[in-house]
Amino acid sequence: MAIAQPERGGLLPERTGPLRGTLATTACMETLQVGYLHAVAAAAGCSLSQPFPDNGIDWHVSHGSPGHTVDDEVTIKVQLKCTYQVAPNPPGRFFSFTLDNDHLRKLARTPVSVHKILVVMLVPRSQDDWLRASHDRLDLRHCCYWVNLAGQPITGRTRTTVRIPTSRIFDDRALCEIMTRVGTGGRP
């Protein structure tokens, strides 16, 4: 139920939703995807660290396991991106995402001592549709997808479009599988 609030000289118009803060939508999207990453890392038993300065990589994710053969703890670097320009639940096997060539150059470098992945979150355009909470769950909409871009060629003058597989949903199981591969000397 919306409530009219007093204003100097009259009433404010009725609101149909919560009074959200004035933080830019892109900043809110960044915060949302960081929350998603934290939830996935927690469920996967991973630790997170944020490099400072970030130098083009947002997070380091580490996973310790006696099953790792290259070290008792392995780390990957994660670059986060978030967009509402690709519709949630994209049809087909891939969706297209455009990166600045400087970002792609960093993500595509090979060989590397620490592997990198790109995690792209698709969100609804309206913040009203990002979350749903109830007594037994918090639904975060919509989804993150991951890709290893090692060796990806740069094809555009300043930006390059890459293909993100819709089969690579970024969740705790996917992160554990990535870390298992890296922990045995493989690629993400």
Q: What is the pLDDT of residues 1-14, one digit of tens each?
A: 444 445 555 565 56
Q: What's the predicted TM-score (pTM) here?
A: 0.89
Of residues 9, 32, 14, the one with CA closest to residue 128: 32
CA distance 12 to 18: 14
23-183: in CATH 3.40.1350: yes
Residue 73 is predicted with a pLDDT of 96
Residue 3 is predicted with a pLDDT of 45
Q: Where are the domains of the chain?
A: 23-183
Region 61-77: mean pLDDT is: 96
Q: State yes or no: pLDDT of 17 exceeds 90.
A: no
Bridge partners for 48 per DSSP: 61
Q: State yes or no: pLDDT of 179 exceeds 50.
A: yes
